[in-house]
Amino acid sequence: MMKTKNKILVGVAAGLLTMGQSFAAAPLAGAQILGTYNGDGSSIYGADFLQTSEGVQNLTGLAAFEGAEFITADSLIQINFNSAGLVTFTLDNASSAPASFVFDFGSSLTSLISAFNITDMSAVTSGAPVLSVINDHQISANLSSAVGSASGYSFTSQLVFTSAVPEPVAPAMLLAGLGIVGLISRKRRS
């Protein structure tokens, strides 16, 4: 009977220790993204423009289908975000041209952006895209100096996230779990 109680208490303690911890496997899930192209919101289209009641052409959520979240009005550049933060830029022109983007996630993120890194630019033959974090919910990409190896090329980048401020319940659950573990070890000693 005592061993069963101890097993139950250990199970409860383990559950309390892990409760409140969140692992953001999909930090962009449910995010709303506002994009600008060369400083102009009317030069970029969100994937769900005219399909929702948003009424803002350069605002989009993550697409439920495979494809770009944004396309420029001149149809030269497509940008695809996935829920894990992978961003793919696809350019339909090998030469460099002025191409600067800002993407604002507003308050729709579950985790804060800490870095924006290039992961694969093997199709870029000269120059390099310049990626930066403006603040914890805005990023920018300047593709003006990048030149590709073909008439259409792409490169990928990754958003890196930090956890948002933990919920107030998380430390309380941790302390409760540690308290139960302490009680169990004290009972075993006596």
Q: What are the extents of the domains in the chain?
A: 32-163
- State pLDDT tens for residues 35-78: 999 999 888 988 765 554 445 788 887 755 567 889 898 888 99
Distances 1 to 4, 5, 13, 38, 178 between C-alpha atoms, Å = 5, 6, 18, 71, 23
- Give the pLDDT of residue 21: 40
- Give the pLDDT of residue 59: 83
- State pLDDT tens for residues 122-157: 888 888 899 999 999 999 999 988 888 777 788 999
Q: How confident is the model at residue 164 (pLDDT cuts 50, 70, 90)?
A: low
Q: Half-sphere exposure of 139 toward its Cβ, with a 13 Å CA cutoff?
A: 22
